[in-house]
């Protein structure tokens, strides 16, 4: 998944938009984990990057993504890239 999410949208509640983004992230991970494992792999591991834009994104662990999204929303950011 390579996507820039907007945290503000005219006519939409910011909290509901944030919840929808988190749901989409969880749904994506769940769908990808259902795929068959590659040969020699014991589990799925994801190479995640997180930042304000694609150019400034830094590596991040999958388990920290929801917390990072919450942090951007708390700080009043308008968008983020995963």
- Predicted confidence (pLDDT) per residue in 58-77, tens digit: 999 999 999 999 999 999 99
Query: Which pairs with CB-CB distance under 8 Å and at least 24 residues apart come from 67-70?
Result: 69/18, 69/21, 69/22, 69/25, 70/18
User: Rounded to two decimals, what is the model's pTM?
Assistant: 0.86
Tally of residues, the chain: 82
Q: Which residue has the tokens 């708390």?
A: 74
Contact between 33 and 44 under an 8 Å Cβ cutoff? The reply is yes
Q: What residue spans define the domains of the chain?
A: 4-81
Q: What is the pLDDT of residues 28-42, one digit of tens each?
A: 999 999 999 989 888
- DSSP annotation string for 9-65: -TTS-HHHHHHHHHHHHHHHHHHHHTSPPPTT-SS----EEEBSSTTT-EEE-GGGH
């Amino acid at each position: 998944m390579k996507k820039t999410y907007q945290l503000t949208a005219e006519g939409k509640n910011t909290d509901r938009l944030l919840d929808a983004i988190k749901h989409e992230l969880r749904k994506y991970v769940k769908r990808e984990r259902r795929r068959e494992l590659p040969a020699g792999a014991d589990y799925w591991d994801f190479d995640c990057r997180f930042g304000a834009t694609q150019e400034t994104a830094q590596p991040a662990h999958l388990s920290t993504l929801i917390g990072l999204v919450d942090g951007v929303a708390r700080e009043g950011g308008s968008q983020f890239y995963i």
